[in-house]
């Protein structure tokens, strides 16, 4: 596959310039911590930046106005790599709203045929909004997910309407609650169903493990008592200081303060939870990255013999050197992002 050189956008270039006082590799050295790599067990594929929403914290800068899709031949190559590597057991599909890629259903079904566990990063409201371009209906998604035993990782910024609607727009909270009800109706979130529904909370700063546990308990209590809905686990992800959230921090004059909070909350224990230790991120055009956040900054992997999914060797990549940046403090602050 021939891929043209990618121009660095001014925002991404500025992120590298500003990151000099926040040297993540130096922090690892200071704490005498190394990132221990494992075999690649997950392909994390970003198949579109089109989304029915424009969330204020989105590190992808996704919106209804983006139009990049992973084409069928790149999707097929991802499926080939999954089939050829028994240690790579999981396919993690993200976007934008990944369901808006025309080949999304095909990717899910074919990955399941190959015996792979499929996870989807789901924003819930796409069930009702459909495709913002052609208005394709997506109301079938809950049943489709259940039929294919897809693990759902669904973003719900908070359990209060005011917070969610401020981040995602008016009416988003009610749609999210209604969407979770539909997922519950087909079995998601029930302990004995085998259908896993995990929610994601985006944190404006570091949270300790105790804070994370309390937040999960609060989510479960409020959502069950006030809305009659349920889920399995709550994942907490620190808002990454890149793209749209970085712009928010800069406009509010709090960017440096936020970076200092992340750096000061560095946890050596959280380093060994880093997702980049055992996955490879694949861009819509087939380029490879250490994680989805590096992908959004144009930071390709440093292995020259595996620049794209078309010449990848997963065994070789399990020995690579991971590229770090200032944003990596987001994944190791407090209890970490997981």
Looking at residue 329, its pLDDT comes to 95
**For residue 338, is it within any domain?**
no
1 lies in some domain:
no
Please state, in angstroms and rounded to a whole number, the distance separating the CA atoms of residues 140 and 142: 6
Residue 337 lies in a domain: no
Report if residue 183 sits inside a domain: yes
Kindly state whether residue 336 falls inside one of the protein's structural domains.
no
- Give the model confidence (pLDDT) of 92-107 as tens digits: 999 999 999 999 999 9
What integer pLDDT is reported at residue 222 of this predicted model? 98
Tell me, what's the pLDDT at 230? 97
Tell me if 2 is assigned to some domain: no
pLDDT at 288: 96
In a domain, 117, yes or no: yes
CATH number at residue 108: 3.20.20
Asked if 235 and 196 touch (Cβ cutoff 8 Å), the reply is no
How many domains does the chain divide into?
Answer: 1
Give the predicted TM-score (pTM) of the model: 0.91
Using H for helix, E for strand and C for coil, what is the string for the chain? CCCCCCCCCHHHHHHHHHCCCCCHHHHHHHCCCCCCCCCCCEEEEECECECCCCCCCCCCCCECCCCCECCHHHHHHHHHHHHHCCCCCEEEEECCCHHHCCCHHHHHHHHHHCCCEEEEEECCCHHHHCCCCCCCCCCCHHHHHHHCCCEEEEECCCCCHHHHHHHHCCCHHHHHHHHHHHHHHCCCCCCCCCCCEEEEEEECCCECHHHHHHHHHHHHHHHHHHHCCCCCEEEEEECCCCHHHHHHHHHCCCHHHHHHHHHHCECHHHHCCCHHHCEEEECCCCEEECCHHHHHCCCECCCCCCCEHHHCCHHHHCCCCCCCCHHHHHHCEECCCC
pLDDT in tens, the chain (338 residues): 333 333 333 333 344 434 467 999 999 999 999 999 999 999 999 999 999 988 877 888 889 899 899 999 999 999 999 999 999 999 999 999 999 999 999 999 999 999 999 999 999 999 999 888 888 899 999 999 999 999 999 999 999 999 999 888 899 999 999 999 999 999 999 988 999 999 999 888 888 889 999 999 999 999 999 999 999 999 999 999 998 889 889 999 999 999 999 999 999 999 989 999 999 999 999 999 999 999 999 999 987 667 899 999 999 898 899 999 999 999 999 888 76
- Its domain, for residue 155, covers 10-331
The reply to whether 223 falls in a domain is yes
Q: Render pLDDT for 12-28 as a digit per residue (tens, 0 to 9).
A: 334 443 446 799 999 99
> What pLDDT is stored for residue 198 in this prediction?
98
- For 151, the 3-state DSSP assignment is strand
**pLDDT value of residue 61:** 84
């Amino acid at each position: 596959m021939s891929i043209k050189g990618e121009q660095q956008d001014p925002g991404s270039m500025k992120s590298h310039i500003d990151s000099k006082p926040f040297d993540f590799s130096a922090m690892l050295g200071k704490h005498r911590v190394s990132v221990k790599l494992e075999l690649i067990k997950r392909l994390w594929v970003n198949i579109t930046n089109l989304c029915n929403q424009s969330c204020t914290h989105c590190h992808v800068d996704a919106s209804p106005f983006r139009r990049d899709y992973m084409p069928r031949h790149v999707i097929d190559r991802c499926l080939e790599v999954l089939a050829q590597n028994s240690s790579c057991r999981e396919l993690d599909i993200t976007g934008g709203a990944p369901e808006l890629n025309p080949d999304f259903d095909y990717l899910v079904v074919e990955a399941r045929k190959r015996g792979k566990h499929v996870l989807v990063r789901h924003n819930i409201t796409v069930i009702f909004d459909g495709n913002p371009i052609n208005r394709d209906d997506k109301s079938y998604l809950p049943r489709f997910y259940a039929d294919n035993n897809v693990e759902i990782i669904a973003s719900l910024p908070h359990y209060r309407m005011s917070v969610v609607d401020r981040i995602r727009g008016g009416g988003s909270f009610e749609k999210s609650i209604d969407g979770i009800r539909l997922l519950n109706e087909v079995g998601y979130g029930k302990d004995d169903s085998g259908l896993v529904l995990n929610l994601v909370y985006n944190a404006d700063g570091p949270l300790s493990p105790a804070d994370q546990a309390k937040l999960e308990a609060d989510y479960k209590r409020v959502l069950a008592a006030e809305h009659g809905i349920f889920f399995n686990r709550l994942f907490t992800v620190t808002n990454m200081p890149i793209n749209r959230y970085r712009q928010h921090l800069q406009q509010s004059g709090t960017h440096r303060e936020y970076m200092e909070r992340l750096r000061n909350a560095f946890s050596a224990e959280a380093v060994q939870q880093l997702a980049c230790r055992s996955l490879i991120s694949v861009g819509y055009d087939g380029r490879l990255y250490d994680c989805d956040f590096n992908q959004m900054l144009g930071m390709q992997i440093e292995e020259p013999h595996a620049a794209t999914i078309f010449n990848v060797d997963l065994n070789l990549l399990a020995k690579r050197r991971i590229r770090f940046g200032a944003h990596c403090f987001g994944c190791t602050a407090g209890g970490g992002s997981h």
